Structure 1
C-alpha cells in the first residue's frame, strides 16, 4: 500500500505489530451504517473496481430471480431451474418474434403506412379489436368487418388479411 492509500484507509486499519495490520471492524461497520458506504469482502479479486463490477452483475441476477419469485407468488414448484429456463425460453422467443415483426414493419413502411406512434405495442393494442364471433346456429367463426387502420397494419406486417369465415 502506498502512503496515500494508507492515509485514506488509516481509520479502518489497526496496527498490531510493525508489519502487521488488522481490519478495524467497528470503524467499517460505522462507515456502513452512518456514512452510506458498503463493503465487499473478497480474497479473490484484488482490484476494487473489478470486484464492484462483478458484484453489480451478481446483483442484477439476484434482482431478476427475486422478481421471478414475486411473479410466481413464491411457490417453490415454479422456482425450479427447469421452470425458470422455460420462462426464459418464452421471453427469448417473444423478443425474437417482436423483432421480426418490427423488421417486417420497417421493410413494408411507406410514407402513408407507418406504425402508430412508431410503437409496436400501440399496433398490438389496435389489433386486439379484431375479433371473431361464432353464431350459435352455425359451425363457423365469422369476423366482423376489418377497419382500414387494421388492414393497413396487416399490410405493414406483411400478413394476409384473415378470411371472413373460419370453419371448424
Structure 2
C-alpha cells in the first residue's frame, strides 16, 4: 500500500511572506515624499543595470582591458545612459494624446529616428535630407527637436 505524502506548513516562510506580501520598502531619513523616493530609486536602478550590462560586455574580466581604455568605455556608457535618460524624461514630459511615447521604449523612439538621413547631393558640396516620415516628424516633435533643414553644405 502506497504511503500518502504529508504536507507540512513552513510557518517561518509564511510569517516572512505575511510581513512583506510581495512588497518592498525603501527606508530613508533624507526624503519624506514616498513617490519622489521611488522615482530616485528607479533612476538608481537604471544606472545599476547599465553597469551590469557593461560588465557583461567585458565578460566581467577587468584584466582584458587596459585601465585607460576601460575607463574610456565606462565613460561612454555613462554618457549613453545619461542621454537615454534625458530622452526618456523629455519624451514623457511632452507626451500628449496626439504625440505618444512608443510603448515607453527609447529603442523604438530611436529606431523611428534612425531613418532620418542625409545624402550627398550630386554637386558633392551639399547634403540633402531625405523626406521625413510622419513617425520621424512626431518623434522629433516629442523630443522638442527642430526638423533638420532640407539642405546643408559640408565644410
TM-score if structure 1 supplies the norm length? 0.54
The alignment yields a C-alpha RMSD, in angstroms, of 2.6
Q: Larger Rg: 1 or 2? A: 1
User: What SS class does the counterpart of residue 166 from structure 1 fall into?
Assistant: strand
Deviations 1:19-46 (A, max 9, x none): xxxxxxxxxxxxxxxxxxxxxxxxxxxx
Residue 166 of structure 1 corresponds to 152
Deviations 1:102-156 (A, max 9, x none): 1110111101211222211011111111111112324100011111111110010
Higher strand share: 1
Q: Residue 70 and residue 134 in structure 1: after superposition, are their counterparts in 2 closer, same or farther (change >3 A)?
A: farther
- Consecutive unaligned residues in structure 2, runs of 5 or more: 1-50
Cα separation, 2, equivalents of 1:111 and 1:69: 43
Does residue 68 (structure 1) correspond to residue 54 (structure 2)? The answer is: no
- Consecutive unaligned residues in structure 1, runs of 5 or more: 1-59
User: What SS class does the counterpart of residue 96 from structure 1 fall into?
Assistant: helix
Q: 1:110 aligns with which of 96, 118, 132?
A: 96
Structure with more relative contact order (C-alpha pairs < 8 Å, separation 6 or more): 2
Query: Which portions of structure 1, spanning 4 or more consecutive aligned residues, are displaced by more than 4 angstroms?
Result: none
TM-score if structure 2 supplies the norm length? 0.58
